[in-house]
Chains A and B, each alone.
Chain A
């Protein structure tokens, strides 16, 4: 139909509708986990961007009025106040940005390192591979938090840049290992060998043959590092190893804990930041599982199953048969059935007895 149309540069409405549907079809085909994860994260990224402007009060402002200290949520302070009369909601809105910003930077730095190391090790092979692999394995096996604690412990100021660098320093090995494995597998594939034969240079092969096939792996690795960065930075802040003058979800928890928020019953101070960390983390984990499922559709819940005759049949069940009742007939029913006319003409089916 489209071929018959003269190209006037104007697409008729029907065509436009179809194009729109096609463009967004990819979204519908994503596994549900990825969608939920992406939406959750999108929400928090939005908050990170506009949060501080939305905040009704300056988060650091300590209201000297003693009656406003540790107030439960009210109209004026939607999430209550802290020990020092600070508005919890404002802190929350500002804190999300700080936490996400830090985690995303760590993610970018660590993933870049991981990609460089992983692809180099996988592609170059030989001595390079041995050395780089050894390096990543060593850093993988060293326990992260103690090392982070010691590194940050020695630093006089525990600023954002320092934290980012320190976290990224320990966050790249896992992704590097995974990317290296994939690069090794791809390097031996036929299409790469073909590229080589036609004289493509190494760079070209890496950029155009290998990397496009590793996008989902790199994405999953990035998400994993961000997850780790959030967990680690919040834990470090909770211990007190962060810049306590800035507002992040972790520092909020530190202050809440050191001012005994929970014991004093001020749940509105302690619970929201922790809950948000959990939600962001959940979004990331779901996104990661979703990306996994994109690559391996079998992992989707219900993908290895089919519903027949009212029950679900899985990989370990025999192939279901349409129309045959799969339920165990009750003895009573069988007994009554034996009196019917059909029972006379039925072909007897034998149920096997014990084996000799």
Chain B
């Protein structure tokens, strides 16, 4: 296995050749199992993430979609233990298995000094708002230099050269190294964030809504840049967004979250054309497509639930057009969708299949006649 720091100043695609060494798909490099996070307030525990199982494989792009408050950011930051009080991880395990840690590392057991080794070097983050995430009194060059010096043993000159070549990577002129964040445009700042995230050639890059704060044109730019960089350096991406449409193009797999739980995981193809969970269907119906026939935008009525007092059974029931009283007894565990082309396609709804039509308005909720065949879905 090559180590990338030895030739520190080159950012090569040397990792691509070693992709096979990790199987490129058998052992996940980030294995999150039964992960739960609460926010402990004096009015009760807010269950932000509840029993989530998610696996990320080397080189793959996994999209994490959901509304605000669905727990996607909490899940991502929590797995790096970057949540602030009153957050508390109440259960589960997060195992990181990168090339430098082939036997796996349990993140939840680590002490702060040990975590610093994992952070950024192995798992880095591109934050949502670059203006807020950059230190206003340090130049952007210095901030990237901080990261390089913290994780790599390079001489001062080599480190500076590395920072410069990183800026080249993201098409920022080298002389901007001495600029302060407030002197750069929004798009440039975001590209600095990306450069910084890739500085130590991590295995995983978590992207937390990296383009939400930018205008559409710049968004396209940044996304294209991300795709290009990923091809070159081959890292895995956990892409968090509330905009499902972005993921359909970008991601290999998509995981949809609602009220702290995963409700569906599938390849982006399947999610796009054959979504299984009612919430996913609702999300897809919430934005128009550029091509194709015009249709009525449905959206999803209602508001997200109070995470302190979740209703029994399925959390989505109050807003679900397919819902029946039977939904109050299920436990939202993920089960395989038999009819799917993707063998790993799972959903939390035992009643609804990809093709199931929406019942006409007004016939939902308590006691309404079921047009559904629970038996059609084969459990695990």
Contact = CB atoms under 8 A, between A and B. Distances in A.
Direct contact of A and B (CB under 8 A): yes
Interface of A: 304-306, 308, 313-315, 317-324, 326, 328, 347-352, 355-356
Contact of B6 (A306, A315, A321, A356): A356
B77 to A, nearest CB: 8
A137 to B, nearest CB: 25
Nearest to B78: A319
Given A306-B40, A349-B104, 10 more contacts: A305-B85, A306-B86, A319-B83, A321-B89, A321-B108, A322-B88, A322-B89, A355-B117, A355-B152, A356-B153
Interface string B89-128: 1110000000011011110111110110110010000000
User: Which DSSP category, helix, strand, loop or mixed, fits chain A's interface?
Assistant: loop
Contacts of A322: 88-91
Nearest to A317: B112
A347 B89 contact: no
A319 B3 contact: no
A352 B89 contact: no
A290 B268 CA distance: 52
B151 interface: yes
Contacts of A348: 103-104
A164 to B, nearest CB: 44
A319 B104 contact: no
B5 A356 contact: yes
Closest 8 CB pairs of A and B: A318-B81, A306-B85, A352-B117, A319-B81, A319-B83, A321-B89, A321-B108, A356-B3
B91 A352 contact: no
B82 interface: yes
Interface residues of B, number: 36
Given A305-B85, A318-B82, A322-B89, A350 B108 contact: no
Given A304-B85, A306-B86, A319-B87, A347 B118 contact: no
A355 B153 CA distance: 7
B83 A349 contact: no
Contacts of B81: 318-319, 321
A349 B105 contact: yes
A352 B100 contact: yes
A144 to B, nearest CB: 32
B84 interface: yes
Contacts of B91: 322-323
Nearest to A355: B151
Contacts of A308: 88
A313 B111 CA distance: 12
A352 B98 CA distance: 12
B14 to A, nearest CB: 13
* Residue of B3, B85, B88, B109 contacting most chain A CB atoms (<10 Å): B85
B115 to A, nearest CB: 5
A324 B104 CA distance: 18
B3 A315 contact: no
A304 B84 contact: yes
A349 B106 contact: yes
B199 to A, nearest CB: 13
Contacts of B101: 350, 352
A352 B102 CA distance: 11
Contacts of A315: 84-85
A345 B345 CA distance: 32
B104 A320 contact: no
Contacts of A326: 111
A328 B84 CA distance: 22
Contact of A328 (B90, B111, B117, B153): B111
A356 B118 CA distance: 14
A352 B104 CA distance: 11
Contact of B118 (A313, A317, A321, A352): A352
A347 to B, nearest CB: 7
5 contacts: A317-B112, A318-B115, A319-B88, A351-B114, A352-B118
A318 B86 CA distance: 11
A190 to B, nearest CB: 19
A322 to B, nearest CB: 5
B88 A320 contact: yes
A318 B104 contact: no
